[in-house]
Amino acid sequence: TRQQDGIIGEFILSFPALAGQSYAIEDSTDLETWQVLEQGITGEGGNVAKSYPATASLRFFRLRRE
């Protein structure tokens, strides 16, 4: 989300989640080393939206089914 001063304050990651399926969200600054941000996200058959602070100038996210 971009703030009034133009700085990006947070990232919003949205994805369709299957009912009963569990997901994990990971991040990386180099696409080689990944850290778990959140795990055990259980789908209910609709979209899930999660927000994370913008802490680095370059940041990648990935979603993984558990």
Q: What would the mean pLDDT of 2-7 be, rounded to a whole number?
A: 69
Per-position b or e across 28-60, b if 16+ CB within 10 A of its CB: eeeeeebeeeeeebebeeeebebeeeeeeeeee
Predicted model pTM: 0.83
Instruction: State pLDDT tens for residues 10-65.
Output: 889 999 999 999 999 999 999 999 999 999 999 999 999 999 988 777 889 999 99
